[in-house]
């Protein structure tokens, strides 16, 4: 079922007295809306940049491709968000996390450029595929990069690292923002939790992004964590390196 059809079906099902599988319809919609903010912002930035490229055919084509891919990604992310809210089984396929990291970095680049930031992706060694939901994992990385950009300083260089360790693949996002107090790190993956620094800052937010990250990674049988050292914040997730039908990515 597509995301829009699923949402349209819910009110009629309730009106007819039929049971629905949505424990919190409002929460599903709220998380879906949260998740498409970053790709939507990238589309907006890309369109603005396109309007200024009158004599650069190659540059315009590249930005057009970014805009088009962001529109596709918004569909993937929205479908994944609603499926999660509907408690539906996510479509699991082999996903190469290194390729996914590069894709998401390309997609969010217009947002980072507007903030005076850059991004670097490094895939270390041989990274196998994981059995996962592409849209859900894209949501995870978009949320992590969105947080890193919002709280990182102008001119910051965000880093994404993908590496294999034993039978798992680890993806980490690094920034040079204010960091997370040690006493609050255990709580940041709870829905609606914002650190004391975030509450005192002028950065808008509801505290939903990291709870989405935790929920999606839990569904993939993985784990999440955060560390801060020497002026750098590192948020990571780890997923078992399993592959669909024995096919390597």
What pLDDT band is residue 246 in, cutting at 50, 70 and 90? very low
Question: Does residue 59 carry a pLDDT above 60?
Answer: yes
pLDDT value of position 227: 94
Please, are residues 108 and 142 in contact by the beta-carbon 8 Å criterion?
Answer: yes
pLDDT value of position 155: 95
Label the pairing between strands 130-132 and 118-124.
unpaired
Question: Does residue 179 carry a pLDDT above 50?
Answer: yes
Of the candidate CATH numbers 3.40.50.11260, 1.10.10.10, 3.30.800.10, 3.30.565.10, the domain formed by 93-246 belongs to: 3.30.565.10
pLDDT value of position 126: 74
Domain boundaries, the chain: 24-85, 93-246
Average of per-residue pLDDT values in the chain: 74
pLDDT value of position 23: 46
Question: Does residue 138 carry a pLDDT above 70?
Answer: yes
pLDDT value of position 198: 62
> What global pTM score does this model have?
0.67
Mean pLDDT calculated for residue range 150-157: 92
Q: At what angle do helices 57-85 and 3-15 cross, to 10 degrees?
A: 30
Q: Which residue has the tokens 């894709």?
A: 103
d(CA 100, CA 71): 16
d(CA 196, CA 198): 5
- What percent helix, strand, coil does the chain show, rounded to 5? 50, 20, 30
Mean pLDDT calculated for residue range 154-181: 93
Question: Does residue 54 carry a pLDDT above 60?
Answer: no
What is the helix (H) or strand (E) element at residue 169, kind and residue range?
Answer: strand 168-175
Give the length of the chain.
249
Q: Could you read off the pLDDT of 185-202 as tens digits, one per residue?
A: 887 777 766 665 566 555
Q: Could you read off the pLDDT of 211-244 as tens digits, one per residue?
A: 888 988 998 999 999 999 989 999 999 999 875 5
pLDDT value of position 74: 60
Question: Does residue 84 carry a pLDDT above 60?
Answer: no
Q: Any bridge partners for residue 120, and if so which? A: 159
Category of 248 on φ-ψ map: left (φ > 0), alpha (ψ -120 to 50) or beta:
beta
Question: Does residue 102 carry a pLDDT above 70?
Answer: yes
């Amino acid at each position: 079922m597509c995301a829009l059809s699923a949402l349209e079906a819910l009110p009629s099902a309730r009106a007819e007295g039929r049971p629905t599988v949505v424990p919190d319809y409002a929460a599903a919609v709220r998380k879906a809306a949260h998740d498409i903010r970053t790709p939507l912002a990238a589309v907006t930035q890309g369109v603005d940049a396109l309007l200024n490229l009158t004599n650069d055919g190659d540059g315009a084509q590249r930005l057009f491709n970014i805009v088009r891919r962001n529109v596709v990604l918004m569909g993937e992310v929205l479908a994944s968000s609603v499926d999660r809210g509907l408690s539906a089984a996510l479509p699991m396929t082999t996903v190469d996390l290194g390729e996914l990291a590069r894709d998401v970095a390309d997609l969010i680049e217009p947002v980072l450029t507007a903030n005076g930031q850059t991004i670097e992706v490094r895939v270390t060694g041989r990274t196998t595929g994981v059995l996962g939901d592409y849209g859900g994992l894209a949501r995870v990385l978009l949320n992590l990069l969105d947080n890193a950009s919002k709280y990182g300083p102008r001119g910051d260089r965000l880093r994404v690292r993908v590496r294999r360790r034993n039978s798992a693949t680890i993806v980490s996002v690094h920034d040079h923002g204010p960091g997370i107090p040690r006493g609050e790190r255990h709580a940041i993956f709870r829905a609606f939790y914002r650190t004391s620094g975030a509450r005192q800052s002028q950065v808008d937010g509801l505290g939903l992004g990291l709870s989405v990250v935790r929920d999606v990674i839990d569904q993939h049988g993985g784990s999440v964590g955060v560390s801060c050292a020497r002026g750098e914040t590192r948020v990571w997730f780890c997923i078992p390196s399993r592959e669909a039908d024995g096919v390597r990515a």
